[in-house]
Structure 1
Amino acid sequence: MPSLLVSVVVPCYNQSKYLRETVENALKSTYRPIELLIINDGSKDDSLGIARKLAEEFPEVRVLDQPNGGVSVARNNGISNAKGEIILPLDGDDLIAPVYMEEAVKVLTTRQEVKVVYCQAVKFNEEGQKKWHLKPFSRHQLAKDNMIFSAAFIWKKDAEAVGGFSEDMKMGREDWEFWIKMLKNGGEVVQLPFVGFYYRLTTTSKRKRTGTIQKKRDRIDYLNKKHADFFERELNGPLRIQRTWSRPYNKLMKLLRLL
């Protein structure tokens, strides 16, 4: 039986400094066949030129160019144009271990109940690296916080079934909302027992730009509006600003209303 094609979807916005390293690193994967789609999201630097040169050098690489629309629009563009049945979203400055793809595909293709496969991870920059301590997956925990980074393996059909990444979510953590709608009604999640993902920390990292209190409030309001049923089931009510206290607070508020 031939191996399934994996499509690595690489959204890129002004990441010319790291794009070649990310692409060449992904192409060192022990798994084949693969294709790698670079989606240039209206970059103002030389990202598009570097992407096109990479496509000339490596037959597995394709380039899509779009006006700046944000990372969700870029990922969805890549997913819709992907030829593979399995998708790996990978940002244009991050890295993966050579065996990550091979081991993830083994799980997806042998366990039909599994929707998402990810791994252990580290955060790194020029000064060094540190372990990224991710909470164990559960739907209850997913209601309070995200523990799956975007560079996880999924089936293309599952991504399309939930409408891809929400393009109107502009306040960050769009991968969290994606996992909620992907997993809230079922599906197993597997974390591989090794470090396979390397998240690059930069001064312009989106996580820093979207970490303000106002962005957090906007994000929680958005999630509550879109997934009220999920939070009611897992937290006995809406997600709160103090997320870890959401369930006991909701329970208390319901008790008080009965008095």
Structure 2
Amino acid sequence: MYKISIIVPCYNQAQYLSEALTSVLNQTYENWECIIVNDGSNDNINEIAQKWLDKDFRFKYVSKNNGGLSSARNAGITVAKGEFILPLDADDKIGHNYLKLALYEFQKDSSLKVVYCKAEKFGDEVGDWILKPFSLYNLSKKNMIFCTALYKKKEWELAGGYDTNMIYGLEDWEFWISMLKNDGNVKRIDYHGFYYRIKSSSMIKSLDPDKEKYLYKYLNIKHADFFVNQLGSSIELNNDLEHTRNDYRRKLKSKKFVIDVFLNTFLGFTIFNNKNDLY
């Protein structure tokens, strides 16, 4: 029976921690351990964590100096005993069947590297969290696998862990690229098993343009092979852009093209509105 290690980093999120840990305790799959990682919090996480350590022996506790989310996850996974890892942020929750259903997919298909599920938002915003389906091409443009996905600990080791240079965010995106860019399959199960808390302030919302530029530049350099394979080289992209610009320049010199644009945009809109007036 496989053991799953659930890694819960916490930095000044103690007010949400018990809700996250309750969702872990309620799992129908019971062979798990949950490692709470205090990443240098300034709140009462020690007090709250101790209550959970007293409640169930499967809860463990690690305390460290603040080093960021990647560092905190790595610290928890390093001491994890499970063959499988499931990261869970301290302000989120998981559905009670998530571990059971995700692990079942690995048992059916040995080619899988990552299993995740459907997600819902809660908190300041509610409803389904709609994300694009996984493909390497889609992954090269934007991340669609949230952090709370199941994978084998050995894959974390092969990927080199979560990159601590991604100090401002997007660490999940970089981690999935490292793990998946060369081979391996991904499965999203038809189950709402992840609940993502929406708050007025968060790390990703506080990402300013300079930090975002740093992260994208770092990603482009580290995974240049991946982005070139999926999106083409910068030379190709620049040539395609130049071809598009030249094509529009030629069209704008054509009177017929300008007239057609005008008619489709303005006259067509007017006719459409007039038709609506008839009913």
- Fold equivalence (TM over 0.5): yes
Identity across matched positions, percent? 43
Other-structure match for 1:244: none
**1:63 and 2:61 equivalent?**
yes
Name 2:22's counterpart in structure 1. Answer: 24
Aligned-pair distance for 1:201? 1.3
Find the residue that maps to 1:195 and give its secondary structure.
Answer: strand
Query: Is the 1:39–1:65 contact (alpha carbons within 8 Å) kept by the matching residues of 2?
Result: yes
Asked if 1:217 is matched to 2:213, the reply is: yes
Indicate if the aligned counterparts of 1:236 and 1:251 stay in contact, CA closer than 8 A: no
Is 1:74 the equivalent of 2:72? yes
1:175 corresponds, among 165, 172, 177, to 172
Change (3 A) 1:96 1:34: same
Query: Which amino acid in 1 is paired with 2:68?
Result: G
Deviations 1:161-218 (A, max 9, x none): 11110011112111000000010001000001121100111233212112x3223211
Which one of 221, 226, 231 corresponds to residue 230 of structure 1? Answer: 226
Offset at 1:73?
A: 0.4
Deviation at 1:43, TM superposition (A): 0.2
What letter corresponds to residue 46 of structure 2 in structure 1?
A: L
**Per the alignment, do residues 213 and 9 of structure 1 end up closer, same or farther by CA in structure 2, a change over 3 Å counting?**
same
Gaps of 5+ in 1: 239-246
Q: CA deviation at 1:110?
A: 2.2
- Asked whether the 8 Å contact 1:87–1:153 carries over to 2, the reply is yes
CA distance in 2, matches of 1:85, 1:181: 19
Gaps in structure 2 of 5+ consecutive residues: 245-279
Task: Give the aligned partner of residue 34 of structure 1.
Answer: 32
Distance in 1 (alpha carbons) for counterparts of 2:168 and 2:18: 28
Aligned counterpart, 2:276: none
Q: Give the structure 2 partner of residue 194 of structure 1.
A: 191
TM-score w.r.t. structure 2 length? Answer: 0.84
The alignment covers a number of residue pairs equal to: 244
Aligned with residue 147 of structure 2, among 141, 147, 150: 150
CA deviation after TM superposition for structure 1 residue 237, in Å: 2.1
CA contact (8 A) 1:39 1:74 kept: yes
CA-to-partner distance for each residue in 1:214-251, whole Å, 9 max, x for gaps? 2321121011110000011001025xxxxxxxx97345
- Contact 2:168/2:203, CA 8 A, preserved across alignment: no
Counterpart of 2:134, as a letter, is: F
Secondary structure of the residue aligned to 1:32 is: coil
Structure number with larger C-alpha Rg? 2
Change (3 A) 1:251 1:85: farther
The answer as to whether partners of 1:10 and 1:39 remain within 8 angstroms in 2 is yes
1:12-37 deviations in Å (ceiling 9; x for gaps): 00111110111111110110201000
Give the structure with the larger helix fraction: 2
Say which SS state the counterpart of residue 33 (structure 2) adopts: strand
Give the SS at the match of 1:179: helix
1:134 corresponding residue in structure 2: 131
Deviates more, 1:107-116 or 1:62-71: 107-116
Structure 2 CA distance, aligned partners of 1:178 and 1:128? 27
Contact 2:125/2:198 (<8 A) preserved? no
Q: 1:235 to 1:128 in 2, by over 3 A?
A: closer
The answer to whether structure 1 residue 249 and structure 2 residue 237 are counterparts is yes
Give the distance between the partners of 1:230 and 1:255, measured in 2 at CA: 24
- Please report how far the alpha carbon of residue 123 of structure 1 lies from its aligned counterpart in structure 2 after TM superposition: 1.3
Q: 2:10 aligns with which of 6, 12, 25?
A: 12
2 CA distance for matches of 1:80 and 1:254? 48
- How do residues 45-56 of structure 1 correspond to structure 2 at under 5 angstroms? 45-56=43-54
TM-score calculated relative to the size of structure 1: 0.90
The farther-off stretch of 104-113 and 149-158 is: 104-113
Change (3 A) 1:109 1:251: farther
Aligned equivalents of 1:32, 1:205: Cα separation in 2: 32
Q: Are the counterparts in 2 of residues 166 and 178 from structure 1 also a CA contact under 8 Å?
A: yes
The code of the aligned residue for 1:96 comes to: I
Cα distance in 2 for residues equivalent to 1:9 and 1:237: 37
Pick aligned residue for 2:201 from 201, 204, 217: 204
CA RMSD of aligned residues (A): 1.8
Deviates more, 1:21-30 or 1:146-155: 21-30
